[in-house]
Amino acid sequence: MTTRLQLFSLASTPAMRKGRFPADEALDERGRDETIAAGLIAHLPAHATLLCSPAAMARDTAALWQRPAIIEPALADMDHGHWRGRGLAEVAAETPAALAAWTRQAEAPAGGAESFLQVLARVGRWQEQLDYQGDVVALTHPAVIRAAILHALNAPASGFFRIEVPPLARFELRRSAQGWTWWPGI
């Protein structure tokens, strides 16, 4: 049987809107309204397994579906270390070389914490161990979605920099006996 994995990118957060690295924020009123207006709730198959990142906003988003969600640690956002919650301009002024490396090198850690390469490995392990059949919906972050797509395509980590994942976007991957494939958002 095929596993159909729908990956939903969470709404923007107040920190993101201010040009800050993600922090563990709750879903604010604007994010809630945008999520509802985007119609993502309508795309959830009635029989789907609902998974979400452990982040507060992911749990708040899952609550909009009024269905129980399974918190999946592998769906957590990239750990931005000491950059977490800080402004991009502030980080660029303090550690320009580290920020430049992070934006160009998959193995460079974000704020001394997790690199894109590490996110790709974490998400790839999760995808290979995913044992749900049928429809699975995952509420998660852009870095995780990029990693899932790269894993499905068996593409290099440098592809992180070439995949745009806007807030409230939906991506679909399917796993069959032949492996993972990326499907256009339907």
Per-residue pLDDT of the chain (186 residues; tens, 9 = 90+): 689 999 999 999 898 899 999 889 999 999 999 999 988 777 777 788 999 999 999 999 999 988 889 999 999 999 999 999 999 999 999 999 999 999 999 999 999 899 999 999 999 999 999 988 789 999 999 999 999 999 999 999 989 989 999 999 999 999 988 899 998 765
Distance (Å, rounded) from C-alpha 84 to C-alpha 100?
16
Going along the chain from its start, the domains and CATH numbers come out as: 3-79+114-183 (3.40.50.1240)
Q: Any residues with CB less than 8 A from the CB of 74 and at least 6 apart, and which? A: 122, 123, 125, 126, 144
Single pTM value for the model? 0.94
List C-alpha distances in Å: 150 to 111, 166, 171, 174.
23, 17, 12, 13
Contacts by 172-179 with C-beta closer than 8 Å and gap 24+?
A: 172/4, 172/5, 172/6, 172/7, 173/4, 173/5, 173/7, 173/127, 173/148, 173/149, 174/2, 174/3, 174/4, 174/5, 175/2, 175/3, 175/5, 175/127, 175/130, 176/2, 179/152
